């Protein structure tokens, strides 16, 4: 199946399950890291339906490990009896060297760990893409909006160039 494809049941086999589009807008991403995430069975099923939200989520240190806070994964409604906390902190799986590198960067540079997306890799494992980012100022955001609008207008002009509609 192609990337981001869905099975016949409407579940995502591999591809993006949740995306934080504001993360790339509010932060200048310096570096990205892919981390595993500890989930329970019903949480994985709910993620495969693509119903999670990580717009307000953030990653931080707790007891020398990196955890994902404030991510929302709704309860799976497929008849599973086990319940789970939809906003519970979830442990992220990283190598010890990666954890020290990220925590040092956050402490030294004042950067933030921003979850950019939750996706399933080719093996079907849930992964979180973390971005090490610096917060953008208001004028930087305006510049990003102007650049995005110009790219869209330029693409529209090039697309319509041969049609005589200038």
Give residue 47's pLDDT: 85
Q: Are residues 143 and 129 in the same domain?
A: no
Residue 110 lies in domain: 15-135
Measuring CA to CA, which residue among 29, 26, 27, 1 is closest to residue 13?
1
3-state secondary structure 7-57: CCCCCECCEEEEECHHHHHHEEEEEEEEEEECCCHHHHHHHHCCCCECCCC
> Under a CB-based contact definition with an 8 Å cutoff, are residues 14 and 3 in contact?
yes
In the three-class reduction of DSSP (H, G, I as helix; E, B as strand; rest coil), residue 61 is classed as strand
Q: In sequence order, which ranges of the chain are alpha helices (DSSP H)? A: 21-26, 41-48, 96-109, 138-160
Give residue 112's pLDDT: 86
- 68 found inside a domain: yes
- 36 found inside a domain: yes
- 42 found inside a domain: yes
- 83 found inside a domain: yes
Q: Are residues 89 and 29 in the same domain?
A: yes
pTM: 0.73
Q: Are residues 49 and 98 in the same domain?
A: yes
Longest dimension (CA), the chain: 64
- 1 found inside a domain: no
- 3 found inside a domain: no
- 53 found inside a domain: yes
In the three-class reduction of DSSP (H, G, I as helix; E, B as strand; rest coil), residue 165 is classed as coil
pLDDT in tens, 93-104: 999 999 999 998
Q: Are residues 116 and 144 in the same domain?
A: no
Percent of the chain clearing pLDDT 70 (strictly above): 86
pLDDT in tens, 113-133: 999 999 988 888 899 999 988
Q: Tell me the average pLDDT of the chain.
A: 83
Give residue 35's pLDDT: 92
- Domains held by the chain: number: 2
pLDDT in tens, 20-64: 888 888 888 888 999 999 988 788 888 888 888 888 888 889 998
């Amino acid at each position: 199946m192609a990337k981001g494809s869905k099975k016949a049941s409407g579940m995502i086999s591999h591809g993006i399950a949740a995306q934080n589009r504001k993360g790339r807008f509010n932060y200048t991403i310096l570096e990205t890291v892919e981390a595993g995430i500890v989930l329970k069975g019903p949480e994985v099923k709910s993620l495969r339906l693509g119903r999670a939200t990580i717009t307000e989520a953030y990653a931080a240190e707790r007891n020398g490990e990196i955890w994902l806070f404030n991510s929302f994964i709704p309860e799976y409604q497929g008849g599973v009896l086990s319940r789970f906390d939809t906003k519970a902190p979830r442990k992220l799986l990283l190598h010890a060297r990666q954890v020290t590198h990220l925590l040092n960067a956050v402490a030294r540079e004042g950067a933030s760990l921003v979850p950019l997306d939750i996706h399933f890799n080719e093996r079907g494992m849930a992964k979180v893409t973390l971005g090490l980012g610096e917060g953008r100022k208001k004028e930087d955001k305006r510049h990003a909006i102007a650049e995005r609008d110009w790219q869209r207008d330029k693409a529209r002009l090039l697309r319509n160039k041969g049609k005589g509609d200038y």
